[in-house]
Amino acid sequence: MIERWFGAITTKRIRRGSFGSVPELIEAIEDYIALHNEDPIPFIWTKTAKQIITKVRRGRVALETVRQSRAI
């Protein structure tokens, strides 16, 4: 979940800004956090653990198939 949060701050604030110094970057991050915390939106899982694990397993099978086809 932390990766999702860092992705959001990167997309919504860091990539959109121009920072002349590290203190400016820190200030932008702190401003984003303060704004985000004013009206936080909780993350709601839309898939069950079983659905996620099933999808990961399918992905691993597909990846192994690609690896084997390249080894030939």
The tens digit of pLDDT for each residue in 9-53 reads: 999 889 988 899 999 999 999 999 999 999 988 878 889 999 999
Domain count of the chain? 1
- Helix pair 2-9, 22-38: axis angle to 10 deg: 110
Whole-structure pTM value:
0.56
Name the token pair of 25: 């970057």
Q: Which domain holds residue 16?
A: 2-71
Task: Give the Cα separation of 11 and 9 in Å (integer).
Answer: 6
